Amino acid sequence: MTAWPGFDPHKVRAIDMHVHVSIDSTGRTASPPALGEALAKYFTSTESPRDVDATAAYFRERRLGAVVFTVDATTNLGHAPNSIDEIVDGAIRNSDVLIPFGSVDPLQGEAAVEEARRQAALGVRGFKFHPSVQNFDPSDPAYIPLFGAIEQLGLPVLVHTGQTGAGARLPGGYGFRLGLSNPMLLDDVAARHPDLQVVMAHPSVPWQEEALSIATHKGNAWIDLSGWSAKYFSPALVRAARTYLNAKMLFGSDFTALTPDRWLDDFATLEFPPEAVQAILKDNAVRLLGLGSP
């Protein structure tokens, strides 16, 4: 994977691997409005949805890079997401701070494979999946063609794991099944596709030990630390991030649910050694994304 044109890692102090762009210029949102409102309430977030240019301005002000995306769960939600093409165009326009990831609906079969190839041609640098929201089991052999195509493209996948704020506290959790986001399902993906870099998004509550085991065993597995304040990281996760898995841990906020300011402030209280902090905040992402030297 070649470096992202226009992005100089030396000009940002950190790279946020997990930033949702939840609205586009037409007003279309990533998910049905009721679901977005419930998510904001769950996280007690006061941040308004931002389109791609507003997101760029927010991160540029903070001297942060950001991996930006939406989630295509069209089949399961009956709602097409905000424009992925607009996210890519906006990231190209704001390439000093934004790096675009794509998203495809796995339930669309061969059409999802072709859409992944189309988005790669547009310039996406990886793909975002949310098994619970998209209603698919990533370990199912039916998705081998999709993950295989992304592996051939040389792009990573960022996959939600663990508990989710999506649908939280709604009747039936909006129908979302947490078990689909058990990180052990991604062990199958990492094993079948050894050249595919698999990022397990979030501390994987209640399956944190499973995620640490996968990242330890699979050379192509990573963990992003988004969606949770460091105050709530388990002792096992803190130890792994500080020591034996430090080279596989990635900073992520889950903006707008959690702001990078809050995440960084709380992470600082863990008092990691400076070299361990540097690896998590920027160097590991530079290596994963092929951005050149840190």
Flag whether pLDDT at 134 surpasses 90. Answer: yes
How far apart CA 197 and CA 189 sit, in angstroms, is 10
Q: Is residue 164 part of a domain?
A: yes
Note the pLDDT tens digit of each residue in 27-64.
Answer: 999 988 888 777 777 777 778 889 999 999 999 999 99
How far apart CA 9 and CA 70 sit, in angstroms, is 23
Contact 85/104 with Cβ under 8 angstroms? no
Instruction: Give the model's pLDDT for residue 210.
Output: 98
Instruction: Give the model's pLDDT for residue 204.
Output: 97
Which tops the pLDDT comparison, 201 or 48?
A: 201
CB-based contacts of 141, cutoff 8 Å, min separation 6:
none
Over residues 86-110, mean pLDDT:
98
Q: Euclidean distance between the first and final Cα of the chain, in Å?
A: 16
Q: Is residue 128 part of a domain?
A: yes
How far apart CA 216 and CA 223 sit, in angstroms, is 10
* Structure tokens, 242: 């500080």
What would the 3-class secondary structure string for 54-102 be? HHHHHHHHCCEEEEEECCCCHHHHCCCCCCHHHHHHHHHHCCCCEEECE
Over residues 149-161, mean pLDDT:
98
Return the minimum-mean-pLDDT range out of 21-25, 186-190, 240-244: 21-25
How far apart CA 202 and CA 193 sit, in angstroms, is 21
Which stretches of the chain are DSSP H helices?
Answer: 33-42, 52-61, 74-77, 84-93, 110-122, 131-134, 144-153, 184-192, 208-217, 235-242, 260-268, 274-278, 284-289
Flag whether pLDDT at 208 surpasses 90. Answer: yes
Q: Is residue 267 part of a domain?
A: yes
Cα angle for residues 150, 177, 28 (degrees, 5° grid): 65
Q: Domain count for the chain, please give it.
A: 1
* Structure tokens, 158: 């960022």
CATH no. for residue 180? 3.20.20.140
CB-based contacts of 247, cutoff 8 Å, min separation 6:
279, 284
Flag whether pLDDT at 164 surpasses 80. Answer: yes
Instruction: Give the model's pLDDT for residue 47.
Output: 81
Question: Per the confidence metrics, is the pTM higher than 0.85?
Answer: yes
Q: Is residue 109 part of a domain?
A: yes
Return the minimum-mean-pLDDT range out of 200-204, 243-247, 254-258, 286-290: 254-258
Q: Is residue 270 part of a domain?
A: yes
Note the pLDDT tens digit of each residue in 103-133.
Answer: 999 999 999 999 999 999 999 999 999 999 9
Q: Which domain covers residue 75, as residue numbers?
A: 9-289
Over residues 217-236, mean pLDDT:
97
Flag whether pLDDT at 97 surpasses 90. Answer: yes
Q: Is residue 197 part of a domain?
A: yes
Paired residues of 68 in beta bridges: 19, 100
Instruction: Give the model's pLDDT for residue 40.
Output: 75
On average, the pLDDT of the chain sits at: 95
Over residues 220-249, mean pLDDT:
97
Instruction: Give Rg (Cα) of the chain.
Output: 17
Q: Is residue 19 part of a domain?
A: yes
Over residues 86-92, mean pLDDT:
98
Q: Is residue 4 part of a domain?
A: no
Return the minimum-mean-pLDDT range out of 47-56, 144-153, 261-270, 277-286: 47-56
Flag whether pLDDT at 175 surpasses 90. Answer: yes
